[in-house]
Amino acid sequence: MMAEQRGVILGRAQRDPRTEKSRLGAQIPWTLGSSPRVTGSKRSDSGFTLLEMLVAVAILAALVGIVPRTLATARGLVDRSQDWMEARLVADHVLNGELSDPSLRPGTRRGTVDGRRWRAVLKRDLDIPDQTPETGRVLLAVTVEVAVTGSQTFEVETMRIGLPE
């Protein structure tokens, strides 16, 4: 009974795909899990066409031309960011070391830290008119400049309490 039910789907007879015939009447052998192939085709599935190979070579050539430039640009960005970070660390060192003395006076100071030149300009802040004379302290505007490259400088502006001139 099972064998009879397999061949009938909703009242129609089911064809066995392994023995199906082509339009010309020749039997096409099918194996399980494969699709039917047209016989007499000139193209072989065992390789690539010349056009496919040329397209692949063109894509690879474009990538070989683009990737090294991109890597060089990324390396340059990393080097520049490292220079700026080192300049920032030198500025922090100058502010926390050289300019942390409570007896600061207006003027200009220069120096070198870790091979980087720096300059600090200390000016009395004139925006605050009533600086208390009884304490003997004034508010100083401090600008620290650190050389990053030959033409570029890193600049930090802050305030410090110091002595009048």
pLDDT in tens, the chain (165 residues): 444 454 444 545 555 555 555 555 555 555 555 555 555 556 556 788 999 999 999 999 999 989 888 888 888 888 888 889 999 999 999 999 888 887 888 899 999 998 899 999 999 877 666 655 667 788 888 999 999 988 889 999 998 888 877
Residue type, 141: A
Give residue 92's pLDDT.
93
| pTM tops 0.85 | no
Question: Residue length, the chain?
Answer: 165
Fold (topology level) of 71-128+137-162? Pantoate--beta-alanine Ligase; Chain: A,domain 2 (3.30.1300)
Give domain limits for the chain.
71-128+137-162
Give residue 60's pLDDT.
94
